[in-house]
Structure 1
Amino acid sequence: MYVPAHFDEPSADVMHAFIKHHPLGIVFTHGRDRLDANHLPFELAADQGPWGTLHAHVARNNPLWMNVQNADEVLVVFRAEEAYISPNWYPSKREHHKQVPTWNYKVVHAHGRILVRDDERYVRGLVARLTRTHEAAEPEPWKMTDGPRDYIESMLKAIVGVEIQITRLVGKFKLSQNKEANDISGAANALGERGHTALSLSMHEVAQRKGPGT
């Protein structure tokens, strides 16, 4: 991924937090017969390995786990808010007209090596943790013991675990950092008016850090 210096996010902690808040990743694999992409919700274990480890599961019928070999290189892409940016949103455009359209977004690329975990204990533990995490905000959180035991057992047998040991993290937060603070704020305001609240807030934070007159 091409990452100009002003869009680079170098902090592992920031990228780990990003993954935890946006856990649905696209995992790209280059298996025995083809290039493939799958959309999976991941659990990040930030303390496992120098860059962390990703855990997920796939349907047993999914060819992903059969088309890769342990230690194959893979790429997982995590993406958050994104939106088109009009030149008309920059106050300076009205002064010199030297602005063009662009697209702002936040992404993290996790490069790593895959390990297939086709064992019931791994899958059961992973599903239990994912369930606790994503059910936590529910008034009556669902738990695995809510289902009949034979039904849960059959569901667990129908999935296979995958573990990805991260070898490199690359973060690109494209938030108009190459613009002046008043232009960033102008674009952020326009995004907020159009419902892109999260991206608008991120850009306002950038504008505040740059300060007036930059």
Structure 2
Amino acid sequence: MIYIIGIGAGSSDLITLKALDTIEKLDILVGSKRSIESIKSIDSINSNDLNNKEIIYLSKNLKETLKEIAFDDKFKNKDIGILSTGDPCFSGLLKTMINLGVDKKDISVISGISSIQVACARLKISWDDYAILTLHGKEHNQELLYNMVINNHSVIFLPSDIKKDIEYMLNKNNVSFNLKNVDYHLKDVRITICENLSYPNEKISTYKLGELLKNIENGLEFSYMAVCIITF
């Protein structure tokens, strides 16, 4: 059986008991270096037991490694756990495994606490009032994001590249505004950026879109682990 295990937004204290119980019984543990180290740091995990497991680190050749794990005969009849940051069902590894051709009956998914959930908790907002969107590897969703914002739909999104995502919206809006197709510039719309959620260097900041782009052009940088929220 292949277990796709959500391990939370970052800090090890967000990992569920179900995830820990599942990890204990595995033959093989698969994950990024950061994910594996997060598991190793948990006091309740038996270090000797981890040492007895085969550990496979995911790197740049992620899809090739996962395909081998899923289909190579040497992994048959093994309990394999694949660590997925956040929740496997949103911008996580479940879709990757399905797209590789793994049969759903051979997969068990362990839910995790996503960065979106943590962001909403920090800001004390109800996420059922928002559209949820990811731009990770889906730059074409910039158009969808723009249409949501220009129509005053509150949205939570995982950025691909914050600078490029904001540039896309503002440039498209400027063209539309000049053609009199919209009523206002997006430059004054506010965006909240939540970085490194649950880590010691967690940071939450709010900007107007126009102000944000200028600050980025002047050297402001953001973590790649970020959640962005636009509220109307």
User: TM-score w.r.t. structure 1 length?
Assistant: 0.27
More helix by share: 2
* TM-score, normalised via structure 2 length: 0.26
